[in-house]
Copies of this chain bind each other. A is one copy, B any other.
Amino acid sequence: MPWKLASADLEDLARGATLLGTGGGGDPYIGRMLVERVLGDGAITVLDPDEIDDDLFVIPTAQMGAPTVMVEKIPAGTEPTQSLRILEEHVGRTAQATMPIECGGINSMIPLVVAAETGLPVVDADGMGRAFPELSMETFAVYGVNGSPLALAGERGERVIIDTGDDNRQMEWLARAITIRLGGVAHIAEYAMSGADVKRTAVPRTLSMGLSLGRAIREARQAKRSPFAAISDALSTTLYSEVRELFVGKVVDVERRTTEGFAKGVARVASGSSELEIRFQNENLIALRDGAMVAIVPDLICVLDAETAEPITTEGLRYGQRVRVIGISTPEMMRTPGALAAFGPAAFGLAEQFRPIESLVDTLVT
């Protein structure tokens, strides 16, 4: 059944989306402000992907850029819908719904801005099942939907259309160049597809999962229960059911640089003589405990406040923070050879092979 999402839900969704951002995806706070401003007392209709018509015309919308820039360069607010309109005009068809391309971070919110502004429904699914740094890292692409044509809207009214046919990496390469020259942030509409394609290629129900996660953490805090156990409980009935404890300790070192439009770096968390090293490119990519791999992309590596379970992004990491780092399994459709070629370790230049979190770590999160 379609359900309604209101302004009151956004705080929980932002928390859950930050967790699914695995360190990246951009801070949803700014996106949330944008949604609230447009939505007011209204509500957004959310469609279950299993229930949509096969010929529904869906245009996903998103923000593109480095998270470190996203938090400093606030959009005018009209760009998300503008990107959808540019693509509609280019393809000569009107969207019947929008959808996230990325459920983690700010891109959980951008389609809601569009939905609130246009009245379009949002499909409860996405193409990353978390956050990833590049536009080609999509289950949509893995299972045969082209990102092109991509429409890009800049804050000073710039309109760009990029069509690289079935070469989604080239699309990313060109769109990234434009985004960098626009100051590091742009808004995009891409991966236009049919309802049938959504069912075949999207990770289902990731918007509602983000909302459930954020709500579970808040309710556990209010009830003085463990918010970490609440995360495990909330995920137990989803496609992300394996939740493992990776490390508890203090952040002792963060190296971070914004380069070529990405935030890249390494964070170190220590406890006694033991250390967890996390390497990231916008998102956390690999975690090594005393040199041994304990989690690797595309599985989720989430750094949370050790007390409150508030998720911490890579740009929010600070020396001295006490954190608990957890690993979460991804759905099978994100672990196939095709999926791993698009967004597995090798796609980030890592030499390590993918191994499922549940085969690396036994300790459950409670």
Which A residues contact B (CB, under 8 angstroms)?
A: 90, 149, 156-165, 167, 170, 173-174, 177-178, 180-182
Contacts and interface: CB of A to CB of B under 8 A. Distances in A.
Contact of A181 (B90, B161, B167, B174): B174
Contacts of A181: 173-174, 177
A160 B157 contact: no
6 contacts: A90-B90, A90-B161, A158-B164, A159-B164, A160-B160, A173-B181
B160 A165 contact: no
Contacts of A161: 90, 159-161
Nearest to A158: B164
Given A158-B174, A160-B160, A160-B163, 19 more contacts: A90-B90, A90-B161, A156-B164, A156-B167, A157-B164, A157-B165, A158-B163, A158-B164, A158-B170, A159-B162, A160-B161, A160-B162, A160-B174, A161-B161, A174-B182, A177-B177, A177-B180, A177-B181, A178-B178
Nearest to A179: B177
Contacts of A90: 90, 161
Contacts of A156: 164, 167, 170
Contacts of A149: 159
A76 to B, nearest CB: 15
Contact of A177 (B167, B170, B178): B178
A165 to B, nearest CB: 6
A90 B162 CA distance: 12
Contacts of A177: 177-178, 180-181
Nearest to A176: B181
A181 B159 CA distance: 19
Nearest to A173: B181
